[in-house]
């Protein structure tokens, strides 16, 4: 129990220590400068700078996205309907196990094909040309944008 109390006290002390570049965790409520230490240009505590939202009139750039859809074609391909039947000549199998389940039994050594695989011709969609997307810039016009600036408030 004393060990836990000593570790907790050591953690609080080390968190409160400050390095030369930034304030420690326990010093932050009493620090007059924020963590980034750039109080000359950014709003900090007690330096009189604040963020303000304004609207700026500037050119509005517009873009168009052009898309060309994917092209598919119907083609006849040969697919396997039934795998070949094989017989292992020496009677040994290697079982691939995953989580206690037998996934695949693979023959080890020589084997003999009893029945060949059965194939069938099918018509299926095949991707000939993938989709394409490109961006073009349109003629800009003038618009008002929201912007955030830093101002000094006395």
What is the pLDDT confidence band of residue 99, given thresholds at 50, 70 and 90?
Answer: low
3-state secondary structure of 56: strand
Mean pLDDT of 104-125: 84
Residue 3, classed as helix, strand or coil, is: helix
Number of other CB atoms surrounding residue 107 within 10 Å: 16
Cβ contact 65:135 at 8 Å: yes
Upper half-sphere CA count for residue 70 (Cβ side, 13 Å): 8
Span 92-99, mean pLDDT? Answer: 63
**pLDDT tens profile 133-152:** 999 999 988 888 888 988 88
pLDDT digits (tens, 9 = 90+) for 31-72: 555 455 566 667 776 677 888 899 988 888 889 999 999 999
Q: Which residues pair with 53 in a beta bridge?
A: 148
* pTM of the predicted protein model: 0.35
Place of tokens 């968190």: 15
**Percent of the chain clearing pLDDT 90 (strictly above):** 30
Contact 128, 72 (CB under 8 A): yes
The band of 94, judged by pLDDT with boundaries at 50, 70 and 90, is low
Tell me the CA end-to-end span of the chain in Å, nearest whole number.
54
CA distances from residue 130 to 45, 122, 141 in whole angstroms, order as listed:
56, 22, 34
**Residue range 96-124: average pLDDT?**
78
Residue environment code for 12-35, b if the CB has 16+ CB neighbours within 10 A, otherwise e? eeeeeeeeeeebeeeeeeeeeebe
Q: What is the pLDDT of residue 18?
A: 47
């Amino acid at each position: 129990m004393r060990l836990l109390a000593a570790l907790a006290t050591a953690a609080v002390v080390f968190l409160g220590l400050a390095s030369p570049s930034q304030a420690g965790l326990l010093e932050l409520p009493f620090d007059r400068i924020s963590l980034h230490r750039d109080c000359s240009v950014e709003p900090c505590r007690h330096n009189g700078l604040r963020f303000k939202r304004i609207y700026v009139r500037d050119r509005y750039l517009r873009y168009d996205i052009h898309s060309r859809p994917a092209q598919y074609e119907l083609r006849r391909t040969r697919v396997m309907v039934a795998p070949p039947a094989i017989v292992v000549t020496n009677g040994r199998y290697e079982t691939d196990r995953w989580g206690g389940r037998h996934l695949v039994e693979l023959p080890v050594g020589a084997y003999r094909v009893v029945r060949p695989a059965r194939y069938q011709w099918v018509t299926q969609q095949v991707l000939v040309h993938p989709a394409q997307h490109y961006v073009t810039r349109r003629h800009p016009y003038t618009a008002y944008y929201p912007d955030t600036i830093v101002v000094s408030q006395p």
